[in-house]
Chains A and B, each alone.
Chain A
Amino acid sequence: MKTWLSRFGLVVALLCIGAALSIVKPVFLTFPNLLNVVRQISINGILAVGVTYVLLTGGVDLSLGSVVALSGVVAAIFAHPGDWPVIVPVAAGVLVGAACGGINGLVVTKGRVAPFIVTLGMMTAARGVALVVSGGKPVSNLGESFRWIGSGGVPVIVFLAVSCVSWVLLSNLRLGRHLYAVGGNENAARASGINVEGVKLFAYTICGALAGLGGVVLAARITTGQPNAGVGYELDAIAAVVIGGTSLSGGVGGVGGTILGALLMGVINNGLDLLNVSSYYQAIVKGIIIVGAVWLDQRKEKS
C-alpha cells in the first residue's frame, strides 16, 4: 500500500513535469524526443535495476561505473569485425561483470567486510583492470552486428527486458521474497531458514552482470570499448533507485519504482536540455531532486 502510494506520487510528478514541458516546449511531446528520452535513460536504467537487488538487501555497490568500463572493453576486444559471432562479446561482457559482482558478494558475505569498502575497492581495481586490458587506449573497430546493439531502440528493448525479468523475479520467485526478507531483518531471515549469504551473493552477482550488460550496450552505442567510460554511473543508478522509493536500509522498494526514478531523471534532464539550461546548472538541479525526493518519501513514511 505504501509503496504503491509512493509510486503514485512519482507518477504524478512525472505527469506534471511532462505536462509543463509540453506546454512550454511542444517538441517535448513528439515521438522522436520521447524515444530520445528513453534511449538516454536505458543504460542508467539497466544499472539501476541491477543495483536495486543490492540495495534491497541493505547493501550498496559503488563499483558499477568501473565494471561498465571493464566489461565494455572486454566485449569490444571480442567484437572486431569477422572475429566471433555477436553472442561471444555480449557473453564476455556480461560474464566479466558477473565475476566482479561475484567477488564483491564473496568478500561481503565470507569476508564480512562492509559493502561500501568492498565495492569501493572493486571500483578502483576494475578500472585498473580495464586500463591494463585495453593498454589504456580505446578499443575501436567493432563489427556491425555488435554496434547494432547500441543503435535505435535496441538499448530500450534491453532495458525493458531486464526490467520485466527483474520484476517477475522480485515479486514472484521465492528468491525475490528472500531478498526482501534479508534486507528487512537479516536476523529474522536467518532464523526463518533463509540462506542469507547465498541471497546476498546472488544480489551482488546479478548486479555485476547487469552492469556488464550496461557496459556492452554502452560500448556498442559509442562504438568503442572505453576504459575511461562510466565514471560516476554508480551514483546516477543509486539515485534513480532511491528516487524510486527503495530504502537504502533495505527491505522496501522494487523495480517499478526504479524504472520511474530513472524516467523522472531522464525527463528532467531532457527538459533542461530543451530549455537550454547549461549542464552546470543541470547538475545542481539533479542534486536537489535526489535529496528532495528522498526527503518527501521519508516524510510520507512518518505520517
Chain B
Amino acid sequence: MRVLHVLNVSKSFPGIRALDRVRLDVSGGTVHALVGENGAGKSTLMKIIAGLTQPDEGELLFKGRQFRPRNPHDALKAGIAMIPQELMPFRELTVAENIFVGHEPTLRFGWLDKNKMQREAARLLGQIGVPIPPTTRMKDLTVAQMQVVEIAKALAHNADLLIMDEPTSAISEREVETLFSIIGDLKRRGVSVIYVSHRLDEIFRISDAVTVLRDGQHVATRPITDTDRNTLITLMVGRDIEETVGPSATATGDVALELRGLTKRGKFTGVDLTLRQGEILGLAGLMGAGRTELAEAIFGLVRPDAGELRVRGRVVKIESPRDAIAHGIGMVTEDRHKFGLVHVMSVKHNITLAGLRGWWINRTVENAMADEQLRAYSIKVRDRNQLAGTLSGGNQQKVVLAKTLLPRPSILILDEPTRGIDIGSKAEMHAFVRELAREGMAVLLISSELPELLSLSTRLLVMRQGRIGAELDPRSVTQETVLRHAMPKER
C-alpha cells in the first residue's frame, strides 16, 4: 500500500532548478532512504512534503488523496511530521509542553489541562520506550532525547509518515541503536519513514528501499536488497563530467599559508595543510566535515583551540577578520547574506568596504575603485548606487568577490563560491579563479560540487569528520573515489 506518492514535482529558485520532475513512492510501514550529494535536491523535496515550501508544478498524493500542504501545520494535520537535522525545540519549555505545542489539551476558557498533558506525554514516551520525565525542561536533554521528544510529538499527531533528516549526525553510537529500534517499532505499527542520510551503512541496515537524487532529478529507486554500496555511490555521482578545461597551471610558488595541528573542539582536529602561491587547493568533504569551520578559523571568524598558523613562513595570531586581511588573507564566505553583503548599502559602498584607506573618503577615488571592480568582474548593475540587496544571486556573489579582492590579498579562501548562482555566473566565477591563480594568488577552494573541485583544483584534500582524510590527484581521481573518501567511516 502506497502511503505517499510524489509525481513529477519541480521547484526552481532564482537561477537554479532545484527539483526537476521528481517522483517518489513510499509504501506504508516501510523505511525509504533518500540519498544524493549535497545540492541534489533532497532538502527541497523534504521541505515540499513537510509543507515548508511549495512546488512549482507536480502532484502529491497522501493516503490516496490530493495533498498540497501550505505550511508545516497542514502537513502535520494530514499526518506528516518532519524531524529536521538541526532541532529547534522550545528550550525553556518542558518536554510535555513541547510535545503538545500548538494543540494543547484545554479545560474550559482555554485553561491548560496540565495533568492530561503530562499523562499523555508520559504515555507516548513510554510507548516509544524512552521514559523521559515529561516535566523536564527541554534544554536539559541530550540531542538524542530531543529527537525522541520530536518523535513523540509526531505520534501525538497520529503521524503516518515521519521524515528524518540526518538523524544520527549528532548522536552517539549507543543512541543510534536506540533510535533504530524505535524506527523498527514505528514500522511495525504501520508508520512510514523517509530517512535521509549520508551514512550508507545505516541505510543498508534499516531501510527497505532507496531513492537516489542527482542534480534535482530522480536517478533510481531500488529495493535495498537489490543494490550495494558501490552501486549507490556510482548512481549518486554518475553525471557526465563537465567539459573540463583541466586543472590550471601546476607550477606553484612559495609557501603562502601553513597550518600545523589546527584544532577546534567538536569541529576539526589536528589539521596540517600547506598552501602555495599560484595553486588552487581543493577541499572536498560532506556537510559537517569541518571545512567551513576550518576556513573560518583561518580567516579569524572562529578561534581555534590549538595549533599553529603560518603566513609566508611567519607564525601569526589571527583573532579577527581584520587581522586576517592585514596579513593578506581574503575570504568569500559560504553564506553571502550573513557574512558577505550589507544589503541596505549600495553596490559601490559594498565593494569598497574593505578597501578604503585613511580617514577621509575621496569620492572620486572611491567611484573609480568601484567602477574598476564592476568592470573587472563584469557585475551587471543599473548604476553603482543601486542597493546590493536588489541584485541577482550571481551578481551579489561577484560583488562579494570584488570586495574581497579590493585590498589585494595574496591568499584567497573561497567557501562554496558558486552555490545558488546561475550557470553563466558560475562559468565566469571559474574563469576568475583560474586567472587569479595564474597571477600568483594562493587559493583554498571549498566546494560540494565534485566536478567543480576536480576541474579547478591543482591539488585536492578530502576532509572527513573533522580531519584531513586523504590527498588525491584531481587529474586522475574519479568522483566516486573522492566521495568514498568523504563518507564517514563504518561504525
Binds A, one of B55-63, B334-342, B423-431: B334-342
CB pair B331–A174 under 8 Å, yes or no, is no
A185 and B321 contact, Cβ closer than 8 Å, known pairs A174-B356, A174-B360, A191-B333: no
Contact with B along A151-195 (1 / 0, CB 8 A): 000000000000000000000111101001100110111111111
Cβ-closest chain B residue relative to A172:
B361
Cα A172 to Cα B365 in complex, Å, equals 12
A115 CB within 8 Å of chain B: no
User: Which residues of chain A are within 8 angstroms of B354 by Cβ–Cβ distance?
Assistant: 192-194
If A173-B359, A174-B359, A174-B360 touch, whether A191 touches B344 (CB-CB below 8 Å) is no
Give the chain A neighbours of B322 by CB distance below 8 A. 193-195
Judge if A251 is at the interface, Cβ distance under 8 Å. Answer: yes
CB-CB under 8 A from B342, the residues of chain A are 180-181, 184-185, 188-189, 251
Q: In the complex, how many angstroms separate the beta carbon of A298 from the nearest chain B beta carbon?
A: 14
Contact with B along A226-253 (1 / 0, CB 8 A): 0000000000000000000001000110
Which listed residue (A173, A180, A193) contacts B349, Cβ 8 A?
A180
How far, in whole Å, are A181 and B403 apart by their CA atoms in the complex? 13
The answer to whether B385 has its CB under 8 Å from any CB of chain A is yes
Distance in angstroms between the alpha carbons of A41 and B343 in the assembled complex: 34
Q: Does A1 contact B (CB under 8 A)?
A: yes
Interface on chain B toward A: helix, strand, loop, or mixed SS? loop
Q: A174-B358, A251-B345 are in contact. Are A191 and B340 (CB under 8 A)?
A: yes
Nearest Cβ on chain A to B372's Cβ, whole angstroms: 18
* Shortest Cβ distance from A171 into B: residue: B361
Complex Cα gap A252–B322 (Å): 24
A-side contacts of B353, CB under 8 Å = 177, 181, 188-189, 192, 194
Q: How far is the CB of B454 from chain A (nearest CB, A)?
A: 28
Give Cα A266–Cα B195 distance, bound, in whole angstroms.
65
Closest-CB distance, A246 to chain B (whole angstroms): 12
CA distance A175 to B340 in the complex (A): 19
B409 CB to nearest chain A CB (Å): 11
Considering only CB atoms and an 8 Å cut-off, how many residues of chain A contact the other chain?
A: 23
Query: B301 in the interface, Cβ–Cβ < 8 Å?
Result: yes
A193 B325 Cβ-Cβ under 8 A: yes
Provide the bound-state CA to CA distance between A285 and B407, in Å: 51
- Cβ–Cβ contact B340 & A188, under 8 A: yes
- With both beta carbons as reference points, the residue of chain B lying nearest to A198 in the complex is identified as B322
A182 to chain B, nearest CB (A): 9
The answer on a CB contact under 8 Å between B360 and A173 is yes
Within the complex, what minimum Cβ distance (angstroms) separates A293 from chain B? 19
Q: B346's closest neighbor in chain A, by CB? A: A1
Size category of the B interface is: 20 to 34
Residues of B267-294 contacting chain A, CB below 8 A: none
Nearest Cβ in chain A — how far from B332, in angstroms? 10
Nearest Cβ in chain A — how far from B444, in angstroms? 16
- Give the chain B neighbours of A188 by CB distance below 8 A: 338-342, 353
Q: Residues of B contacting A191 with CB < 8 Å?
A: 299, 301, 321, 331, 333, 339-340
Q: Which of B384-440 contact A (CB under 8 A)?
A: 385, 387, 403, 407
Please indicate the chain A residues that have their CB under 8 angstroms from the CB of B359 in the complex. Answer: 173-175
* Contact A177-B340, Cβ < 8 Å, known A191-B331, A193-B407: no
Q: With the chains together, A60 CA to B324 CA distance in Å?
A: 31
How many angstroms between the C-alpha atoms of A193 and B408 in the bound complex? 13
Enumerate chain A residues within 8 angstroms of B407, measured Cβ to Cβ: 193
Smallest CB gap from B345: residue in A: A184
Q: Is B320 a contact partner of A190 (Cβ separation < 8 A)?
A: yes
Chain A residues near B349 (CB, 8 Å)? 177, 180-181
Complex interface: chain B residues within 8 A of A194 (CB): 322, 353-354
A273 to B170, CA, bound (A): 67
CB of B344 within 8 A of CB of A187, answer no
Which residue in chain B gives the minimum CB-CB distance to A251?
A: B344
B287-323 Cβ-contact flags toward A at 8 Å (1 or 0): 0000000000001010000000000000000001110
User: Smallest distance from the beta carbon of B474 to chain A beta carbons, Å?
Assistant: 28
Q: How far is the CB of B236 from chain A (nearest CB, A)?
A: 33
Which residue in chain A gives the minimum CB-CB distance to B330? A193
- Give chain B nearest CB distance to A57 CB in angstroms: 13
Instruction: A190 to B353: give the CA distance in the assembly, Å.
Output: 10
B385 pairs with A174, CB closer than 8 A: no
Residues from chain B with Cβ under 8 Å of A185 in the complex = 338, 341-344
Min CB–CB distance B300 → chain A (angstroms) = 9
Nearest residue (CB) in A for B349 is A177
Q: Shortest distance in angstroms between A170's beta carbon and chain B's nearest beta carbon?
A: 11
The answer to whether B339 touches A252, judged by C-beta atoms less than 8 angstroms apart, is no
- The verdict on A193 contacting B361 (CB below 8 Å), with A181-B342, A188-B341 known, is no
A106-128 residues with Cβ-Cβ distance < 8 A to B are none
What is the chain A residue whose CB lies nearest that of B338? A187
- Residues in A whose Cβ lies below 8 Å from that of B340: 188, 191
Distance in Å from the Cβ of B465 to the closest Cβ of chain A?
27
Q: Which residues of B contact A184 (CB under 8 A)?
A: 342-345
Whose C-beta in chain B lies nearest to the C-beta of A252? B344
Nearest B-chain residue to A250, judged by Cβ: B344
- Option from B321, B363, B387 in Cβ contact (under 8 Å) with A192: B321
Across the interface, which residues of A come within 8 angstroms of B360, CB to CB?
A: 172-174
- Rounded to whole angstroms, the CA-CA distance of A226 and B341 in the bound complex is 47
Contacts of B325 in A (CB 8 A): 192-193
A180 touching B345, Cβ below 8 Å: yes
A31 and B77 CA atoms in complex are apart in Å by 70
Cα-based distance from A184 to B353 in the complex (angstroms): 12
B339 contacts A187, C-beta separation under 8 Å: yes
By a CB distance below 8 angstroms, the chain B residues around A195 are 320, 322
Contact call A193/B344, Cβ cutoff below 8 A: no
> Please, which residue of chain B has its CB at the minimum distance from the CB of A190?
B321
Contacts of B320 in A (CB 8 A): 190, 193, 195
A-B contact pairs, 14 of them (CB 8 A): A180-B342, A181-B345, A181-B353, A184-B343, A185-B338, A185-B341, A188-B338, A190-B301, A190-B321, A191-B333, A192-B403, A195-B320, A251-B344, A251-B345
Binding site for B on A (CB under 8 A): 1-2, 172-175, 177, 180-181, 184-185, 187-195, 247, 251-252
Given contacts A191-B299, A192-B403, A252-B344, 20 further A-B contacts (CB under 8 A): A172-B360, A172-B363, A173-B361, A174-B358, A174-B360, A175-B359, A181-B342, A181-B353, A184-B342, A185-B342, A187-B339, A188-B340, A188-B353, A190-B321, A191-B331, A191-B339, A191-B340, A195-B320, A195-B322, A251-B345
Closest 3 CB pairs of A and B: A184-B342, A193-B325, A192-B354
